[in-house]
Structure 1
Amino acid sequence: MIIISGLGQGINWEWVMGQITRSKEVPNGFDLRGIDFSGVNLNGQDFGDACLDYAIFDRAIGKGAMFDYCSLCRASR
């Protein structure tokens, strides 16, 4: 189950999931380029004001939607 609060309540997750494509850069993940998750609290993890224009939903999406930054985002935080 995906639990969203804050600005994340405005996200249409059916649309987001429909936009997911397998990322060539991250074979075990999904590419969510262009989706703005600013201010989103996802499953209790606060992303603050970071704009995740390049972010990865990993394969644990069925285990509570684990979320991970790509290495570029991690380096910039």
Structure 2
Amino acid sequence: MPVRDYQINIVQNALFNNTLVSITTGLGKTLTAAVIMFNFYMWFPEGKIVFMAPTRPLVAQQQSACYKITGIPI
């Protein structure tokens, strides 16, 4: 999966600051969210990660995508 410079910048910023990511469809929001969640999972393996979305199907879609990208257990 190709990683773009702006995605790296978003991840680096989000790991250390409160961040709201608003980018167009298809530019990698799921990838950046998965990488950020994976880092927090590695730092705090007993912690909880909360991912919010407006519908249950969208949450399920994101869970599946994040698992495929990083292997984070659901």
TM-score (norm 2): 0.30
TM-score (norm 1): 0.29
Counting helix residues as a fraction of each chain, which structure ranks higher? 2
Counting strand residues as a fraction of each chain, which structure ranks higher? 1
